[in-house]
Structure 1
Amino acid sequence: EVEQLKESIAWPETPSLPSNFSLNDTSGPAHSTFTILPRNGGGGWRVGDQLEVLIQITDFHGRPKSSGGDVLLARLHNPTLFAGVAGRVLDHHNGSYTAVFSLLWEGSAHVEVTLVHPSEAVTVLERITQQNPGRVSLKGIFRSGSVTEATACNVCLKAPPEKLCNFTDIRTGEPWFCYKPKKLKCEHRVIHSFGGFGLKLKPMEDQLFQR
């Protein structure tokens, strides 16, 4: 069970990204395709069957990709019935993927596949996560009278206990800490706020997330 959890959160295998890469060589939706595979055993589809869809990812030139790691979302839906189901996407690590859907209703169904992030963007995300795991900035706001202070907060902070305010949930055990304010006390905390992202992207990399 532990190994399954590790596999579920492991980074996918993605190609390295050269410093002078071209966006046209990255995964793109324009020429990528998907094909609905025939039903196992032949015949028509029935409620309860598993529908399989083969997805082939290409770059912007229309050339098939030879590696995996793209982030894909697949869904099967019927807008008229307000019915839908998410597909389980299997990465074959060669530019192709299989999406598997459970058929849960009678009538028509439409397949939709979305390229959320190309594999090249995943390579960048893995690098910045390893280099700067605390890149999401969260703040605690402390206030007493006319005095207000803000300090950084997170589930894990590098500081001795006497320098931290411990706001760990006593019911769930979920950890949460803030650096102690200079003038105020821990009990003067009033709210938490989002402080922004600390992304260190190289030239051109930001365009991988703007398509």
Structure 2
Amino acid sequence: MPVSQRHRPQPGTRPRTPEEAWHHLMAGNARFMADERAHPHQDMDVRHRLAQKQAPFAVFFGCGDSRVAAEIIFDQGLGDLFVVRTAGHVVDFSVLGSIEFGVGNLGSPLIVVLGHDSCGAVAAAIASARSGQMPKGYVRDIVERVTPSVFAVAQRGELTPESVEREHVRVTCELLYERSMIIQDAVDAGSLAIVGCEYRLVDGAAHLVHVIGDVGDEVEVSDGDSRI
């Protein structure tokens, strides 16, 4: 049976729990990888309905990289995902406020931190750590926020772009949980989970690298794993 038939979304269904939301996303990623996308929730009726109200089932916080568009990677449609993006998925007050809105006001049961391979922000942070030179302008702020992940990985003796990318995803997940009481309370109550994903540009796969809460899956990629 084609992937698109095994994992086709059911019309009108919205995941209600963190586990349901996560597996719904993984089904979409399977369709994307198999080039059997369903392109759900993009018709005229959906647009009319969404003009009145939105109820996204997941909040995505990802890198601004043009090659990493969550709605495409996970084969979702209009109104499905509440997406926040910055270069290198670095956290600031506006990011925290935006994610809190998605969780507290829109009722999303899942936060996904979406990192990826060949990340320019990670490459810049590694280069800066090695040279001791910071980039000019506001790019410096981005590099400074990624640099702690570079140092953490270097202390373990495994300084590669892949290991820094994974570390930065994990750190970002923990920052969201630690800095926002709205997020922390929802996770502790079991109504929300935070997952960190690592997207691979060539094969299109999204792998689980960190979980806070319960989504019914275990981490796929751990420290020392160089499968990217």
TM-score, reference length from structure 1: 0.24
Q: Which structure is higher in helix share?
A: 2
Q: Which structure is higher in strand share?
A: 1
Larger radius of gyration: 1
Question: Quick one: higher RCO (CA 8 Å, sep 6+), 1 or 2?
Answer: 2
TM-score, reference length from structure 2: 0.22
